[in-house]
Amino acid sequence: MTVKEVYGILDGISPFELQESWDNSGLLLGDTADEIERIVLSVDIDEKMIDEYEENTLFVLHHPLIFSPLKQLEWSRYPANLLRKMIMKNHSLIAMHTNFDQSHLNRYVVERILGFEAVSCEGFVCYAEGEWECEALLERIKKRLGLELMRVVGQKSVIRRLAVTTGAGSSLLDQVDADLFLTGDIKFHDAMKALSKGLMMADIGHFESERHFAAALEENLKNLPIPVIIAQSINPFTYI
C-alpha cells in the first residue's frame, strides 16, 4: 500500500478537516507515493520504537511529533533526534489528534473502557447519565483506567450526569454541563474555577485517558493487505 492510500482511509474514518486550527494532524513525514509494508499505531513515538520496526513503516500517532514550528534541526535535540532516525529508515508519520478525539476516542473511552452509554458527544465532551454513588463511581473509574491515584476537585454524594474529555480538557470548563467532569492535566486555577462553579472534577491523566487511541483506531482498519500493529506507548511519568 502507499502512504496516499492509507491517508485516504484514515481521512474517511476521521476527517482531518475536523482538527482544531492550532493542531498539526495529517501527514508529517514521508511521501504520499511511498510504499509501506506495515502500519504501527501508538499514542506517541520514542527511539526504541523506531529502532524496533524495519524500513518502510508508517507510524500513525495520536500526538503530532512535529507540533510547534521547527526553527532548526539539531540532531541531538527532540524531536529532531527522532525525525533523523525515521528519515534514515524511510519511515512515514501521520498524526490523528483532535480530529480523532472528536470523532472516536472520547466515545470509545466512555463506552468501551468505562462501560457507560454515551448519551451525547458534543465536540470534545462525551456525556453519560445515570445515578451513581460518588465514591463507588470514582473507584470504578480508577480501576477501569488503571489509575494508581486520582486528584479530585470538590465532592458530591450522587452523580447523575458525567462528562468525559480525554487528554487535557480543562479549557472546556465553561462548556461542560455535568455533575462530574473527567479529564486530564487539571491545573490549579482550573480547579479553583471548577469549585466556584460547583463542578466536581477528577483528573484521569493525559496518558492514561488517551492510551486507548491505538485500540480504538485498529478496530477501523480491519482487512488491510498489510499488518496493522499496536505499539506500547511509554508513559513519561512514574509515581513514587
pLDDT in tens, 119-153: 999 999 999 999 999 999 999 999 999 998 999 99
Give all strands (DSSP E) within the chain, no chain letters.
26-29, 38-42, 57-61, 92-95, 118-122, 125-133, 152-153, 158-168, 180-184, 200-203, 228-230
pLDDT tens per residue across span 173-229: 999 999 999 999 999 999 999 999 999 999 999 999 999 999 999 999 998 999 999
How confident is the model at residue 238, as a pLDDT? 85
Domain locations along the chain:
3-97+212-230, 99-209
Predicted pLDDT at 239: 81
Residue predicted with more confidence, 81 or 240: 81
User: Which of the pair, 134 or 239, is modelled with greater confidence?
Assistant: 134
**99-209 domain in CATH 3.90.480.10?**
no
Q: CATH second-level architecture of 3-97+212-230?
A: 3-Layer(aba) Sandwich (3.40)
Asked if the model's pLDDT at residue 82 lies above 90, the reply is yes
Q: Which residues pair with 152 in a beta bridge?
A: 202
For 37-101, the DSSP string reads SEEEEESS--HHHHHHS-SSEEEEESS-SS-SPP----TTSTTHHHHHHHHHTT-EEEE--HHHI
pLDDT at res. 22: 96
193 burial type by CB count under 10 A (0-12 exposed, 13-18 middle, 19+ buried)? middle
Would 3-97+212-230 and 99-209 be classified into the same CATH topology? Answer: yes
pTM of structure: 0.95
CB atoms under 10 Å from CB of 202, counted, come to 23
